[in-house]
Structure 1
Amino acid sequence: MLEAIKNKWEILEPIRKISKEEFEICPFDVSENLKPDSVLFFINDKNQKGILLKDDNLQTKLPKHGCSRLEIIRQNISIEGIENKFIKVTCLDESLNYAFSILLSRIIQLLIDGSSPSSATIDSVNELRKLLSRSRGPLPKEEEIIGLTGELIFLFSLVEKKQSLWKGWNGPFKASKDYTLSNIDVEFKASLQAGEPSITVNNLNQLEPVLGRSLYLFHSTLVKNPNGDISVPRLIKKIIEKIDDKDDFNNTLFAAGYSSEHEDLWDAFRFSVIEKSSYKVTNDFPRINQDSFINSSIPESITKIRYDIELNKLNKFKIENKSLIDLIYQSE
């Protein structure tokens, strides 16, 4: 979908440069489930990109998105002498063009799935607002970049085995486990090489297996290297080359806080991999959980538990990385 959206902009952009019309419009007709001319892309005379959704239902209120860089209104627009009622969604800030394309892809997919124009707009804008509210700048903290790098290292190993295996990745959506497929869960950890290797556990449930499921831990030890061949954008490109559902993957990346518009900034964080290691989290795996407290009762005064585990003391739980990949492959 994102590629189709990009193609529409590439059609409109050269026309816009020489046009004096208020709108330059191009129909989006990539699916037989969309009625002809029900979805129109446009670039206005201020060079702002947008979408027109034909909608005769004037009763449904449009979302209050709370973003000064996005305009959503109902407007009657005459095209080739025929006036129609549209929902008009306009991106007012060029720096948000990538996020805007994500929004459009979601709106269009909901329309294809049968949603009304107003419902598709409301649901998509609400999703985008939640994602943008988590972002305070073009890049997250360094520890989050390192964490995403570790996740992508594992995902690349998966898609080398089978291209669809990345779909178990749900960490960006704040799921209880970073990766879930069939009866297997995996927690991802990554850290820079510094002294004794260790991981930080952020809550009591992170290393707690779910009943009837197997839990594994995958850890990447990285070292900063300006000439290294590992970075978030480089791993993304390698993964995208191997998978079919590129749009779904890009949407998940966006949820993780990644934007290709800032690819050069992300690529400045380069690493080399020192070690990749996998562990099976069994009942005797060292961790703090509810059973660690008297009567399995956590004192009310404790609101957050965060602790470190030294990896060099986990050798009895270590398994081959290939064995973990094979287990996931066989479980699908």
Structure 2
Amino acid sequence: MTASTGYDRANQAIEDLGSDFPAPGRYRQVKVGRDFHLDEVALARDSEGLIHLLVRYPEDFKGEAPALGGPLECSRRPWPISQVEIVDVLDVILMERLLQPTFVSLIGEMLDRMERSGRSAMDEFSEVVESWRKTLARISKGPSREAIRGLFGELWIAQRIACANPAALERVWVGPRGGRHDFTGATSLEVKTLVGSGAPVVTINGLDQLDPVGEAGLHLATLRIVEHETGETADEIVAALIDEGVSRQFLEAALRDVGFQLGDINGPAFVVEEVLLHRIEDDFPGLRRSHLTESSLRGIESVSYRLQLDAGPGALPADQLDSVISDLIA
């Protein structure tokens, strides 16, 4: 039976994408455009399991791409629609998996409007997003699941630091106060979290995140986590930090600086399944301010990209994390 509404088609396309993740750098996609222009719209799943809406730019499109935010990220990019043809698309990524039903409803409304009006997918998407703007803004007010996972990773490392020296945590946990890295003392430590069983791919925010501070060394700790009732919640780790002697006032300020409230994070319980540890040196891949010229940086406001960790040298055994922490708080 053929799906009759835009919502049905979008929902069916996501089901057709499957639940397993493709290899890094690859996408699984399903085209959902109109019969006479199937390539106009597609849904895709990447190696991190994130859903992408791909809307093709018409050749005569004169408008601006809609400004999104909150749970949606978007950018213009080339996209191969066949083995021989590459076109420009607006790539809209759903960053918060719990909001998938909302995302599907938005896409479904766009598809229905396309069928009725005969206008391009880009025109209809721009108008649908405008009508959904209040809903998206309301959704974006609360911390996302991704943000809670990121906070959990920092807190998990903070707990290990506090077990060694509670007073040192207040000195070295500088990320919430705008520090270049999450933790900086005698050395620096950046923390990332992963979900799923795919290849380790992390998001690097900015051109400074992989640059050491001065002569200090830099390590990257990537935690692969999974939701499980036997794990710990972020709130439970915060309570444990207070029990270890970390100042409640410090924790309140640190959490507030990253958009959370002490005792009211309301996240699930996580278990850390795997720790990936890397020493970041000059041969580690990535975009860095120290490797770029002043002229090449002119006009750039922000940079965010995904990095496949398997491509990088400097991997260390996970059991060296405590040694790295000891150097950090020395």
* TM-score w.r.t. length of structure 2: 0.52
Measured in 1, the distance between the counterparts of 2:263 and 2:290 equals 46
Distance 1:157 1:301, change over 3 A: same
Give the CA deviation at 1:255.
2.1
Structure 2, unaligned stretches of length 5 or more? 1-137
Provide the residue aligned with 1:297 in structure 2: 295
Provide the residue aligned with 1:262 in structure 2: 264
The code of the aligned residue for 1:234 comes to E
Which stretch has the larger CA shift, 276-285 or 307-316? 307-316
Select the residue among 174, 177, 182 that pairs with 1:170: 174
The code of the aligned residue for 2:327 comes to L
Distance 1:292 1:228, change over 3 A: same
Distance 1:312 1:230, change over 3 A: farther
Measured in 2, the distance between the counterparts of 1:152 and 1:194 equals 22
Give the CA deviation at 1:200.
0.8
Q: Deviations over 1:277-306 (max 9, x none)?
A: 32221111111124655x563254644322
Provide the residue aligned with 2:200 in structure 1: 197
Give the CA deviation at 1:141.
1.4
Provide the residue aligned with 2:231 in structure 1: 229
Provide the residue aligned with 2:77 in structure 1: none
The code of the aligned residue for 2:296 comes to I
Whether the aligned pair in 2 keeps the contact of 1:169 and 1:179 (CA below 8 Å) is yes
Provide the residue aligned with 1:271 in structure 2: 270
Q: Deviations over 1:197-240 (max 9, x none)?
A: 11111111110112222112121111123x14222101111111
The code of the aligned residue for 1:233 comes to D
Provide the residue aligned with 2:161 in structure 1: 158
What SS does structure 1 have at the residue aligned with 2:283? Answer: coil
* TM-score w.r.t. length of structure 1: 0.52
Give the CA deviation at 1:138.
7.4
Amino-acid identity (%): 22
What SS does structure 2 have at the residue aligned with 1:151? Answer: helix
Measured in 2, the distance between the counterparts of 1:290 and 1:328 equals 23
Provide the residue aligned with 1:282 in structure 2: 281
Provide the residue aligned with 1:11 in structure 2: none
Measured in 2, the distance between the counterparts of 1:297 and 1:259 equals 41
Alignment of 1:1-332 (within 5 A): 139-167=142-170, 168-181=172-185, 183-225=186-228, 227-260=229-262, 262-263=264-265, 266-267=266-267, 269-290=268-289, 297-298=295-296, 300=298, 302-314=300-312, 316-319=314-317, 320-329=320-329, 331=330
The code of the aligned residue for 1:308 comes to R
Measured in 2, the distance between the counterparts of 1:259 and 1:138 equals 13
What SS does structure 1 have at the residue aligned with 2:244? Answer: coil
What SS does structure 1 have at the residue aligned with 2:264? Answer: helix
The code of the aligned residue for 2:307 comes to I
Structure 1, unaligned stretches of length 5 or more? 1-134
Aligned residues: 190
Distance 1:244 1:190, change over 3 A: closer
Whether the aligned pair in 1 keeps the contact of 2:251 and 2:262 (CA below 8 Å) is no
What SS does structure 2 have at the residue aligned with 1:157? Answer: helix
Whether the aligned pair in 2 keeps the contact of 1:290 and 1:298 (CA below 8 Å) is no
- Taking only aligned residues, the RMSD between alpha carbons, in angstroms, comes to 2.5
Distance 1:173 1:299, change over 3 A: closer
The code of the aligned residue for 2:305 comes to Y
The code of the aligned residue for 2:259 comes to G
Which stretch has the larger CA shift, 205-214 or 242-251? 242-251
Measured in 1, the distance between the counterparts of 2:182 and 2:262 equals 22
